[in-house]
Amino acid sequence: MTLTISSRHVLEDLEKWTIEKFSPVVNNNVEIPDLGSPSVFTEDSLCKLVKYVPVKEDHVLSLVWILPYFGKDIKK
Instruction: Specify whether the CB–CB gap between 52 and 60 falls below 8 A.
Output: no
- In sign, the C-alpha dihedral spanning 46, 51, 52, 58 is positive
Phi, psi of 19, deg, nearest 5: -65, -45
Q: Write the pLDDT tens digit of every residue in 25-68.
A: 888 888 877 766 667 677 887 888 888 888 888 888 788 877 77
User: What is the residue type of 16?
Assistant: K
> Of 36, 28, 5, which is closest to residue 18 (Cα–Cα)?
5
Is the pLDDT confidence value at 8 over 70?
yes
Please give the model's pTM, rounded to 2 decimal places: 0.39
Q: Strand, coil or helix: what is 17?
A: helix
